[in-house]
């Protein structure tokens, strides 16, 4: 964005995110002399907002609504970038007026604090990162993650499986690996409330939570965060998938505790669901195969929900397994 001029040095990068991509942007933006403004659904774990603010980003928490609603967190993030550009244009216009200071312009200079509470005075313009539709997402995994997997396995990989939020990871990795070897099988693991499983397996974007009389205001009322979706993104449409599996909240919780106890891995909800997918694929392919997934988040971002005993208990998700019996496997 900086190279193309879409983002000016000192400008603001905006993003609508359940947390993880936003944390990456908030980490990187200051290194390029830019600011970061994140719009996040208010049902996401509070730790993510705290991390973002510690990184210097401004955070706007909003209620979860459909993507078709103007106040969906992604749509608000897009709007914030446009507002930043409008403010920059007005600032430039004012600064070009000879011999007059801003306070002499009698209302020409907007007050973004009043117009958008919590939105800082960004006069250098904005850029909407657009992780869902921006194909730089796909390319990052096609050019980076996919080759990394190929190199680390010395090309000895039989299957790849991951959940999809934006779809960038599963699309970029699956495309690269299948170009390297058509024998490599690539799969999706889909959480509750998402329609991608049915899209991959039946060609129809559908989830039972969307059925007549059962439609929820927020179909992603699930313990997992940042994965699952009920629309096709440009990134996901690039994926080369051989099939899909469904996971449950209970399996994700149990898997996270199993990995902590047996492997010393303290993982977040999407990583745990990815590992549920890995076991599903292992069962489907049988012994002797190399299966790859992504551990994309750690448990520190999920203390208030995914690792909170009281929160889990109220949804009947208290972990009880001693092994992998929750997946009906040894």
Render pLDDT for 84-109 as a digit per residue (tens, 0 to 9).
Answer: 998 888 866 665 554 454 444 444 44
CATH number of 1-92+126-130: 3.40.50.1100
At 116-168, the pLDDT tens digits run 544 555 568 999 999 999 999 999 999 999 999 999 999 999 999 999 999 99
- CB burial string 128-167: b at 16+ within 10 A, e below: bbbbbebbebbbebbeebbeebbeeeeeebbbbbbbbbbb
Residue whose C-alpha is closest to residue 36's, from 9, 15, 8, 5? 15
Q: Please list the residue range(s) of the chain that carry CATH number 3.40.50.1100.
A: 1-92+126-130, 138-327
* Three-state secondary-structure class, residue 291: strand
Tell me the backbone φ, ψ of residue 189, rounded to 5 degrees.
Answer: -115, 125
State the DSSP code for 57: -
pLDDT digits (tens, 9 = 90+) for 30-59: 999 999 999 999 988 899 999 999 999 999
Structure tokens at 297: 């988040």
Q: Are 189 and 248 in contact (CB under 8 A)?
A: no
Q: What is the pTM of this model?
A: 0.86
Phi, psi dihedral angles at 319 (to 5 degrees) = -70, 135
Q: What CATH code would you report for 138-327? A: 3.40.50.1100
The token duo for 252 is: 């994700």
Q: Are 125 and 84 in contact (CB under 8 A)?
A: yes
Per-residue pLDDT at 209: 56
Q: State yes or no: pLDDT of 210 exceeds 90.
A: no
Would you state the pLDDT for residue 110? 45
Average pLDDT, the chain: 87
Say what the pLDDT of residue 100 is: 52
């Amino acid at each position: 964005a900086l190279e193309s001029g879409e983002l000016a040095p000192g400008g603001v990068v905006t993003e609508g995110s359940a947390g993880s991509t936003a944390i990456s942007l908030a980490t990187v933006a200051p290194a390029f002399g830019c600011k970061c403004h994140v719009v996040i659904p208010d049902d996401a774990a509070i730790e993510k907002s705290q991390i973002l603010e510690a990184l210097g980003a401004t955070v706007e928490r909003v209620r979860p609504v459909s993507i078709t609603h103007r106040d969906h967190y992604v749509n608000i993030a897009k709007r914030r970038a446009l507002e930043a550009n409008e403010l920059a244009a007005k600032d430039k216009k004012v600064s070009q007026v000879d011999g007059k200071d801003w306070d002499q312009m009698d209302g020409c200079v907007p007050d973004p604090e009043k117009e958008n509470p919590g939105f800082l005075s960004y006069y250098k313009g904005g850029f909407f990162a657009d992780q869902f539709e921006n194909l730089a997402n796909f390319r990052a995994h096609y050019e980076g993650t996919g080759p990394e997997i190929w190199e680390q396995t010395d090309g000895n990989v039989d299957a790849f499986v991951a959940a999809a939020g934006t779809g960038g990871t599963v699309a970029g990795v699956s495309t690269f690996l299948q170009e390297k070897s058509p024998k490599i099988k690539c799969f999706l693991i889909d959480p509750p409330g998402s329609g991608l499983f049915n899209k991959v397996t039946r060609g129809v974007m559908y989830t039972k939570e969307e059925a007549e009389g059962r439609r929820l205001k927020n179909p992603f009322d699930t313990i997992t965060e940042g994965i699952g979706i009920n629309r096709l993104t440009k990134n996901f449409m690039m994926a080369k998938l051989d099939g899909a599996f469904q996971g449950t909240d209970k399996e994700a919780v149990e898997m996270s505790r199993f990995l902590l106890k047996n492997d010393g891995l303290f993982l977040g909800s999407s990583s745990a669901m990815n590992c549920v997918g890995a076991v599903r694929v292992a069962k489907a392919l049988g012994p002797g195969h190399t299966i790859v997934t992504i551990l994309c988040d750690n448990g520190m971002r999920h203390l208030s929900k995914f690792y909170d005993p009281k929160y889990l208990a109220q949804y009947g998700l208290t972990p009880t397994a001693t092994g992998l019996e929750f997946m009906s496997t040894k």
